[in-house]
Amino acid sequence: MSASITTLTDATFDEVIGAADKPILVDFWAEWCGPCKLIAPILEEFATEQSDKFVIGKLDVDENVATATKFSVMSIPTLLLFKNGEVIARLVGAKPKGALLQEITSNL
């Protein structure tokens, strides 16, 4: 995983989201999830190409059940866009890079 992507856990989630000075896109994923693996390279690209607009965080739902449950993540990948500590967008499922970027930036 890229150094510009923040790995989140149940223990660090609230602090990282609350302290974010930019919107943060959190990828709720799991190692066994095929669609999660499809969008991982896209998120890596966003982490560098879009770093001036938003940052990327990843949360493994198998290891961090409490946070996934708190945000009612029922299927993965689920991408939640946080701004000022609040969810401003929810994207579910794998999408092509252009479609993902359009949905994210339309909510910024």
Q: Which residues are catalytic?
A: 33, 36
Q: Which of 5, 45, 9, 11 minimizes the C-alpha distance to 25?
A: 5
CA-CA distance, 106 to 108, in Å (whole number)?
6
C-alpha 38/C-alpha 41 separation (Å) is 7
| 3-class secondary-structure state, position 91 | strand
Name beta bridge partners: 89.
81
